[in-house]
């Protein structure tokens, strides 16, 4: 073992002793309460058939051959960006290879040394990483706390950017977007909204639901969750798109998505347009889930109207034990541990889907209360 390997091994050993060692596992046939496939698109035979039909006539589906700025651009990519911009009522859109790439590319490039980025303390790791790569000053504000946000705004200089999620990935709650935009107007700040867990679940996203498109500086829509495929897009002005093409390193220095991925995204959006019944079924399940929490023996369920529901079980050891018992009944849930969430806020995160049945939800609650 080399000196470097020994150092890495020691770090891993410490993490394992703390019960925090991450390991890869293959998907199971348990009842799915953990994936982000909220609408079942990732398993949709209809979507698969749509993609198969469109790719059957294509001569190139395996690879793009290079970055978009070299040999990897295509008419299909540009047409899809026009479609996404129209669908989401935006001036322009730019496709990235993943939601992580989109957030890192956007946050790392838009702000200069004397600018300020303010961010909700519960934003996704990709936003944190993008901010770290930026030269701007950055400060968190307490989750959904408008008073604390304004305190931060009063002390901020340069161009000010505020980064939030429309639906938060761990708590499942919703950002007060209208009120934050009021503060943006008052302090001449620009709002960035990550719509990852709202896209598809709340139709075209919460920014559009609330008719706030004209006032939001940038939106990030990812396709790897409710849309059932892969990739992401940043939506905003033509100026923002041109800027990102020139300065977003996660766009410039990566091989472009292959044609098959572009076709999959387009087909998923067309399926979404005619899948109101599937979305309604998801919200029926969310409503039924709330009825179960209302009479549950535990009052540790966080309040959420989204597909993400979390049961707080303080302590990494305790939440892992409970999760293991639930998995023993062929129910797929996962523990969310500290430091992913704050100490004392460890949890079992339940993701609801359109394809979950009431019987499956009943079994989940019965199993939790037995355990």
Which strand (E) or helix (H) includes residue 79?
Answer: helix 75-87
Residue 58: predicted pLDDT = 67
Computed on alpha carbons and rounded to an integer, the radius of gyration of the chain in Å comes to 21
Residue 237: predicted pLDDT = 98
Which strand (E) or helix (H) includes residue 137?
Answer: strand 137-141
Q: Which residues of 103-127 are buried (b: 16+ CB within 10 A; e: fewer)?
A: bbbbbbbbbeeebbbbbbebbbebb
Greatest pairwise CA separation for the chain in angstroms: 59
Q: What three-state secondary structure class fits 233?
A: strand
Which strand (E) or helix (H) includes residue 268?
Answer: helix 259-273
The residue ranges of the chain whose pLDDT is under 50 are none
Domains in the chain, CATH or no CATH each: 24-39+275-370 (3.90.1150.10), 47-273 (3.40.640.10)
Strand 189-194 to 160-165 pairing: parallel
Question: 278 exposed, middle or buried (CB, 10 Å; 0-12, 13-18, 19+)?
Answer: buried
Supply the DSSP string of 151-205, one letter for each residue.
Answer: HHHHT--SSEEEEEESB-TTT--B--HHHHHHHHHHHTEEEEEE-TTTTBTTBT-
- 265: its two tokens: 């995204």
The pLDDT tens digits of the residues spanning 177-228 come to: 999 999 999 999 999 999 999 999 999 999 999 999 999 999 999 999 999 9
Q: Which residues of 306-324 are buried (b: 16+ CB within 10 A; e: fewer)?
A: bbbbbbbbeebeebbebbe
Helix orientation angle between 146-154 and 177-187, rounded to the nearest 10 degrees = 20
Q: Which residues of 152-184 are buried (b: 16+ CB within 10 A; e: fewer)?
A: bbeebeebbbbbbbbbbbbbbbbbebeebbebb
Secondary structure letter of residue 136 according to DSSP = S
Q: What distance in Å separates the CA atoms of residue 135 and residue 115, rounded to the nearest whole number?
A: 8
Q: What three-state secondary structure class fits 120?
A: strand
- 40: its two tokens: 């079942």
Residue 61: predicted pLDDT = 62
CB atoms within 10 A of CB 365: 16
Supply the DSSP string of 308-325, one letter for each residue.
Answer: EEEEE--SHHHHHHHHHH
- 56: its two tokens: 């059957």
Residue 22: predicted pLDDT = 85
Residue 241: predicted pLDDT = 98
Q: What distance in Å separates the CA atoms of residue 21 and residue 365, rounded to the nearest whole number?
A: 28
CB 219 within 8 A of CB 193: yes
Measured between alpha carbons, how far is residue 256 from residues 66, 94, 252 in Å?
Answer: 6, 12, 9
Supply the DSSP string of 1-36, one letter for each residue.
Answer: --HHHHHHHHHHHHHHHTT---------SSEESS-S
Residue 63: predicted pLDDT = 72
Q: What distance in Å separates the CA atoms of residue 102 and residue 218, rounded to the nearest whole number?
A: 11
Report if pTM > 0.85: yes
The pLDDT tens digits of the residues spanning 138-187 come to: 999 999 999 999 999 999 999 999 999 999 999 999 999 999 999 999 99
Q: What distance in Å separates the CA atoms of residue 302 and residue 349, rounded to the nearest whole number?
A: 10
């Amino acid at each position: 073992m080399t000196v470097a390997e020994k150092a890495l091994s020691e770090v891993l050993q410490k993490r394992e002793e703390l019960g925090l060692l991450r390991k890869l596992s293959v998907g199971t046939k348990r009842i799915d309460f953990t994936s982000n496939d909220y609408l079942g698109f990732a398993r949709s035979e209809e979507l698969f058939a749509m993609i198969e039909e469109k790719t059957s006539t294509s001569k190139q589906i395996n690879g793009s051959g290079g970055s978009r700025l070299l040999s990897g651009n295509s008419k299909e990519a540009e047409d899809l960006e026009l479609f996404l911009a129209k669908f989401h009522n935006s001036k322009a859109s730019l496709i990235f290879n993943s939601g992580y790439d989109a957030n890192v590319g956007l946050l790392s490039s838009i702000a200069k040394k004397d600018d300020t980025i303010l961010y909700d303390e519960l934003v996704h790791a990709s936003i944190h990483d993008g901010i770290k790569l930026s030269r701007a000053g950055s400060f968190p504000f307490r989750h959904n706390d408008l008073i604390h946000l304004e305190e931060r705004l009063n002390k901020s200089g340069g161009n000010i950017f505020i980064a939030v999620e429309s639906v938060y990935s761990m708590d499942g709650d919703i950002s007060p977007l209208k009120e934050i935009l009021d503060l943006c107007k008052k302090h001449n700040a620009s709002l960035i909204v990550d719509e990852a867990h709202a896209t598809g679940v709340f139709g075209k996203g919460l920014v559009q639901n609330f008719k706030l498109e004209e006032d939001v500086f940038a939106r990030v829509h990812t396709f790897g969750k409710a849309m059932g495929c892969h990739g992401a897009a940043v939506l905003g002005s033509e100026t923002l798109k041109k800027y990102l093409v020139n300065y977003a390193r996660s766009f410039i220095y990566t091989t472009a998505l292959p044609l098959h991925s572009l076709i999959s995204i387009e087909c998923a959006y067309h399926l979404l347009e005619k899948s109101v019944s599937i979305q309604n079924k998801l919200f029926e399940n969310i409503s039924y889930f709330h009825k179960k929490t209302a009479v549950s023996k535990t009052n540790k369920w966080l309040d959420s109207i989204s597909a993400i529901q979390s049961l707080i079980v303080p302590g990494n050891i305790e939440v892992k034990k409970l999760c293991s018992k639930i998995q023993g009944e062929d129910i797929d849930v996962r523990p969310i541990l500290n430091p992913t969430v704050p100490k004392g806020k460890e949890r079992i995160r339940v993701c609801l889907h359109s394809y979950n049945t009431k019987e499956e939800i009943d079994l989940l609650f019965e199993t939790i209360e037995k355990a």
